[in-house]
A = this chain, B = another copy of it.
C-alpha cells in the first residue's frame, strides 16, 4: 500500500492547547508521524510517496472561502502587532449570538473555532495545505486503480467543519478526499471514522447529502469532546436522511463492544453500495491513550484492518488522531497490515 507523506507537517510544531485550565504543549505533535514512519519502515509497509500539489479548489468544495482565507492569513494577522507566540482563540458564541466575522484577528479566531486547542503557529497553514495534498494524492492513487492507499495527514482533519476549526483540525482531509472521489466519478463514497472522537466535521459537511455516507464510532458525546455532536439520533437531514450513522460508546468500551459497532457500520457501507471507502483512521481508541477512555489493545488494530478489508472496496486511509506516541506506530501499522492480509 502506498503511503503518502510530506515533511511539511513539521511546520505545525510548538503549538499549545488550553486543557484542564492550563495552556500546555499540544498532545497532537510531530513525533506522532515520526513514530508511524518508524513502524512502517520496520514492517516494510509502503512505499512512501510524495504528495502532488492540488491547490485550493478541492478544499474550497467543502470549506467556506472566508474560512480558508482566514486560515491562510491568520499567522500574519496574529503576529503583525508583534506577537511571536502561538495563537489561540479565547471566546466564542453564547446561544443566540450572531454569525458575523469580526475585523481583528482575536475576533476572527473565536469566530472560526470551537475550542481553545486548535492553535496556529508560523508553519500551520503550510502543514495544513500539505495535509490536504496528501489526502488528494491518495484519491489520485485509488481513483487511478490502486486497491488502497494511506494518506499520512498531519494535522488531522475530521473535527473541522465547513468554516470552523477545532480538535487539532483545520481542513477536513477526509471530507476533501470524499468530495474529490465524487468529482472523479464515484457515485457514492463511504466515510468510516474509527477515531475515538466523533467525526463532527465530516458529519456536518455531508449531513444533508446522500452521496456520502458517514459512519462514525466514538466516545459518547455526553462524556467526551466534541460533546455537542455525535448522538445516535443524528441520522442525516433532507436528502441525507439515513446517510449518517453515529455509534456513541461509553468510556471503558473494549474491542468486543467496539467491534460490534464496526460490524454494523460495515454492514451499512455494504448496503449503501459505496464505490469507495475512506477510513478516518484515529488510533486514540487505544487503552493507554493519554486523552481517551476506550480499551482497545494493539492486536485489536490488526482485526480492524481485516474487517475493513472484507468490504472489498477501494480504500483510502486518512490519518486522524492517536496520542499515545509510543504505541501509535504499532497500532497504525497493525491496521494497515491487517488490511493487506484481509
Which residues of A come within 8 Å of B, CB atoms? Answer: 16-23, 83, 85-88, 90-100, 102-104, 106-107, 110-111, 114-117, 119, 161, 163-164, 166, 200-201, 204, 221-229, 231
Contacts and interface: CB of A to CB of B under 8 A. Distances in A.
Nearest to A201: B94
A88 B23 CA distance: 11
Contact of A86 (B21, B100, B164, B227): B21
Question: Which of A87, A92, A95, A161 is the most central at the interface, judged by chain B CB atoms within 10 Å of its CB?
Answer: A92
A78 to B, nearest CB: 8
B107 A91 contact: no
A280 to B, nearest CB: 17
24 contacts: A17-B90, A18-B116, A20-B106, A23-B23, A90-B115, A91-B114, A91-B226, A91-B227, A92-B114, A94-B164, A94-B204, A94-B226, A94-B229, A95-B161, A95-B163, A96-B161, A96-B229, A98-B231, A100-B221, A100-B228, A102-B221, A102-B222, A103-B222, A111-B228
B161 A94 contact: yes
Main secondary structure on A side of the interface with B: loop
Instruction: Say how many copies of this protein the assembly contains.
Output: 2
Contact of A115 (B92, B100, B104): B92
B104 A166 contact: no
Given A103-B223, A222-B100, A117 B90 contact: yes
B91 A225 contact: yes
Given A91-B116, A93-B93, A102 B21 contact: no
B18 A102 contact: no
B99 A95 contact: yes
Nearest to A22: B23
A107 B227 contact: yes
B204 A90 contact: no
Given A166-B94, A227-B111, A88 B18 contact: yes
B117 A94 contact: no
Contacts of A83: 20-21
Nearest to A81: B20
Contact of A23 (B21, B87, B97, B228): B21
A116 B95 CA distance: 16
A91 B82 CA distance: 27
A340 B44 CA distance: 84
A110 B221 CA distance: 13
A89 B338 CA distance: 40
A86 to B, nearest CB: 6
